[in-house]
A and B are shown apart, each in its own frame.
Chain A
Amino acid sequence: MKIPYNEELRPDTGLYNAKLGIWLFLASEVMLFGGLFSAYIMLRLSDPNWANYGQTALNIPLATLNTAVLITSSVTMVMSWVALKMNDIKKYSMYMGLTLLCSFGFLVIKYIEYTAKFDHGLYPSTNNFLAVYFTITGLHGLHIIGGIIVNGYFFGPGKKMWNSEPERFTNRIEIAGLYWHFVDLVWIFLFPALYLL
């Protein structure tokens, strides 16, 4: 038995199954982060002490660097998909490797930021700004780790599929890319909302 429209597009919807699936998943992710952001807004607006919660303790230069790293990883992610479209598996490996490198870089910088906070005795329980900061960036970090696992699989053992089903493999990279851009986009909202505003 074969599931229809696994690789080929369904004529009347113009989609293959996984592409619709990932968009639905991302819609639900939007609702998840929407819930987190609304909670942040509500807590911040209803708390008169918010100004004293030490938002200024956050390291803006490091976060800016992290933003640049993540955006770079999004670019290399697209390039790896383009490389597959151009039938160039070597270039794909290079760009995917760069994407993974950037993702690890992001986590390392995040780790430096976190430990600096802990060293100064700033924990999630200290106040609600730090609670929001650690919870939302922590969840975002989990999303990064999820992306690393998926991309790492396609960089390593998952690449075999290129030899048997190149079309399907290219689709998989497109799907993984959509997810990765979403994670990137979340950070682009998080950065100003937590560090700058």
Chain B
Amino acid sequence: MSSDNHKESFWTKYIFSQDHKVIGIQYGITSLLFLMLGFLLMMVMRWQLAYPDQPLPLVGWRLSPDMYNSFGAMHGTIMIFLGVVPVITGAFGNYLVPLQIGAPDMAFPKLNMASFWCYFVGGVVMLMGFLMPGGAANSGWTSYPPLSVVATSGQTVWLIGMVFLITSSLLGSSNIIVTIVQLRAPGLTWMRLPFFIWAQLVTSFLLLLAFPPLEAAAIFQLMDRLAMTSFFMPSGLIVGGAATAYAGGGSPLLWQHLFWFLAHPEVYVLILPAFGVVSEIIANNTRKPLWGYKPLVYSVIFLGFMSFIVWAHHMFLTGMGQTMSMFFAVTTMIISVPSVVVLTCLVISLWGGSIRFNTPMLFALSFLPMFGMGGVTGLPLGLPLSDIHLHDTYYVISHFHYVVAPGTIFAIFAGIYFWFPKVTGKKLNEVLGKIHFTFSLIFMNGIFFPMLIQGLAGVSRRLADGGESYAHAQSVIHYNEFMSMSAWLLGLAQIPFIINIIMTIIKKKDKNPDPNPWKATTLEWACPSPPVGHGNFEKDPKVYRGPYEYSVPGHDDDYSPQFEKLGDK
């Protein structure tokens, strides 16, 4: 590696940087912008759902059903692949993993840079879809064939974008694993790792091993679309009244298997790092050790393994047979056990703590019941019998949004408020933070709770008119307006957050910002805020104890950092 004193131009320092901190921030900014874009698409769609076929206010055009499909597919794709996963693994993982294990950088800084730029190009390619004739991909974020194979050219762009994103996640995840295995500071044994690191490690393995089958599937679909092969095209397919030119003999189900083989582990990619973030914040703000560190670690490893053998519970209605359904129903019930263990450990961790109710803690606390809602509503979907009624209804939409939106996204907010002082040396404003939290919590539930009711009444997802033309939806259709209002108000509730970030960034910095403003114990608080240049720590850190030694009896302080020798203070 080059030494510290090499000259860095603007380009190598801020754009093509190999410093994990800069790359983490690049990931953070890009993916938060994508999150906003995905949310914007949804706010437009919610207008169509609340007031079908009426022109949009201000702009004046109508969202056609085709465009509604496009927006829906791109909302899902952007939120998952360009928004939430890059924030929680790309930004948090990149910034925090080397700091929390006491490393000077990631193991492969150049690959790290390549990972970000693959992600960036993948995102740009995805957006190019909107410029294609026929608009962006419109076959849902799941891209089920044969629909997706005969769809407009936006789908080709989607697949190419996906290949870039898969490459990015391959580079990023292998980098995180090597960093955690190889670059832990002296004394940082496996059972002294912060839980966040464990979550990132398991998540990276999921990304590493689950994405390639989707890459295989994407290549097959590209071949179907461009070379007229029939991997996913059944014999005798009629499209628009005419037979297709495909040779046939393929299997649409094959795509679903390959897709869900990725996409179920992907669910855990979304949620495991959120567990990690939340447990760091809960331990810190209850001022006591996490309850059940080892069960948490084993649960998260077990979750990782199990997540590879539950995928077909998304496919109960494809007629794959009772034996298969039975198997996947059983594994699905088993995988809920470690999730409950994690949630229980985190709830018991609150017991008897002297809790500080700051903004990160509020988000982390509300994560628990919100993720709980997501988990509990998932159980009926994991059993074939009840899934027959609920499949592809708004109940499903509500279920996974409870996991990801007030679940993972709240964990992301918690993490941003918690680690902002480390990144910039300045704390975010608490009052604005609490406003942001309160309204976000209310309106999130305002959107997603009525969806459960609509779904139980049998309203299907992906209807461009929100169910207006369906008789069975009439009794619950009035919720649409309420949900849309909640969505737009949720948009407004993000304004204090944005103002907060901008205000704090332009605020003048303290001369000597406190490196450890939350009085936390893990290693990232040992280095200055923000951490020094390329290399992070002023002196090489050594680790003396476990990650959550808060309120150790007989100590003056209520926290004993990992990096301080006993009797240092």
Contacts and interface: CB of A to CB of B under 8 A. Distances in A.
Contacts of B229: 124-125, 128, 131, 135
Interface stretch (B102-110, B154-162, B280-288, B556-564): B102-110
B564 to A, nearest CB: 22
A65 to B, nearest CB: 27
A32 B216 contact: yes
Contact of B249 (A2, A27, A36, A127): A127
Interface in B243-264: 246-247, 249-251, 254, 257-258, 261
A28 B174 contact: yes
A135 B183 CA distance: 39
Given A1-B535, A35-B217, A126 B174 contact: no
A33 B19 CA distance: 33
Contact of B220 (A25, A39, A125): A39
A136 B161 CA distance: 21
A116 to B, nearest CB: 18
Contacts of A127: 230, 247, 249
A126 B258 CA distance: 23
Interface string B217-232: 1011001000111110
Contacts of A16: 182
A17 B107 contact: yes
Contact of A32 (B1, B103, B213, B227): B213
Contacts of B104: 1-4
Given A20-B178, A21-B108, A1 B250 contact: no
Interface in B183-219: 183, 208-217, 219
A124 B213 contact: no
Given A1-B534, A17-B107, A125-B227, A42 B257 contact: yes
Contacts of B257: 38, 42
Which among A5, A29, A35 has the greatest number of chain B C-beta atoms within 10 A? A35
Interface in B435-472: none
A58 B59 CA distance: 60
A94 interface: no
Contacts of A119: none
Interface string A1-35: 11111100010010111101100110111011111
A105 B4 CA distance: 46
Interface string A122-138: 01111110011011000
Contact of A43 (B174, B213, B219, B254): B254
Which among B208, B216, B535 has the greatest number of chain A C-beta atoms within 10 A? B216
B33 interface: no
Contact of A3 (B1, B181, B213): B1
A24 to B, nearest CB: 4
A18 B213 CA distance: 24
Nearest to A29: B212
B209 A28 contact: yes
Contact of B182 (A10, A25, A28, A39): A10
Contacts of A39: 216-217, 220, 231, 254, 258
Contact of B212 (A6, A18, A28): A28
Given A35-B213, A39-B216, A124-B223, A5 B183 contact: yes
Contacts of B111: 21
A164 interface: no
A46 B209 CA distance: 26
Contacts of A163: none
Contacts of B223: 124, 131, 135
Contacts of B249: 43, 47, 49, 127-128
A13 B104 CA distance: 19
Interface in B74-125: 103-105, 107-109, 111
A15 B180 CA distance: 13
A127 B227 CA distance: 12
Contacts of A32: 212-213, 215-216
B170 interface: yes
B107 A139 contact: no
B177 interface: yes
Contact of B178 (A1, A24, A28, A46): A24
A24 B206 CA distance: 12
Contact of A5 (B182, B258, B261): B182
Contact of B181 (A13, A27, A135): A13
A35 B247 contact: no
Contacts of A17: 107-108, 178, 182-183
B323 interface: no
Contacts of A34: 212-213
Interface of A: 1-6, 10, 13, 15-18, 20-21, 24-25, 27-29, 31-36, 38-39, 42-43, 46-47, 49, 123-128, 131-132, 134-135, 139
Interface of B: 1, 3-4, 103-105, 107-109, 111, 170, 173-175, 177-178, 181-183, 208-217, 219-220, 223, 227-231, 246-247, 249-251, 254, 257-258, 261, 534-535
26 contacts: A1-B3, A4-B104, A21-B108, A21-B175, A24-B208, A25-B174, A29-B212, A35-B258, A36-B216, A38-B258, A39-B216, A39-B231, A39-B254, A39-B258, A46-B251, A124-B223, A124-B229, A125-B229, A127-B247, A127-B249, A128-B229, A128-B249, A128-B250, A131-B227, A131-B229, A135-B231
